[in-house]
Structure 1
Amino acid sequence: MKNQESEVVALGIRKRVFEHTIKNNGGYLSQACSAADSLAVLYEDVLNLGPSIAPEIPAPFGGVPAPDNPNSFTGAGYHGEFASHYDRFIISPAHYALVIYAALIEVGRMAPEGLKMFNKDGSSVEMIGAEHSPGMEVTNGSLAQGLSMASGIAFARKRRGDEGRVFVYMSDGEFEEGQTWECFANMAHHKINNVTCVVDYNAQQCDGAMSAVTEIGDLVGKLKAFGADAVLVDGHDHDALREAMNRRSETGPVVVIAKTSPFQGMDYLQKRFPRLHYVRFTSEDEKIELRDAIAEQLGVNVDEIE
Structure 2
Amino acid sequence: MDDFERQRGRLFGIAYRMTGTATDAEEIVQDAWLRWQDVDRTTVRDPDAYLAKVVTNLSIRQLTSARARREMYVGQWLPEPVLTGRSEFDALGPLEVVAERESVSFALLLLLERLTPAERAAYVLREAFAYGYREVAELIGTSEANARQLASRAGKKLSAEGPRQQPVDQAGWRKLVERFIAAARLGEIEELEKLLAEGVVSRADSGGKVSAARNVLVGRDRVARYLVGALQRFGVGIEARLTEANGGPALVAVGPEGTIMAICFIGVGPEGVTDVQFVMNPEKLAFAVAQLSQIGGLPDLSW
Structure showing greater Rg: 2
Quick check: which one's helix share is greater? 2
Q: Please confirm whether the aligned pair reaches a TM-score higher than 0.5, indicating the same fold.
A: no
TM class by smaller structure: under 0.3
Kindly indicate whether structure 1 or structure 2 has the higher relative contact order, using CA contacts under 8 Å at least 6 residues apart.
1
Normalised to the residue count of structure 2, the TM-score between the two structures is: 0.23
Normalised to the residue count of structure 1, the TM-score between the two structures is: 0.23
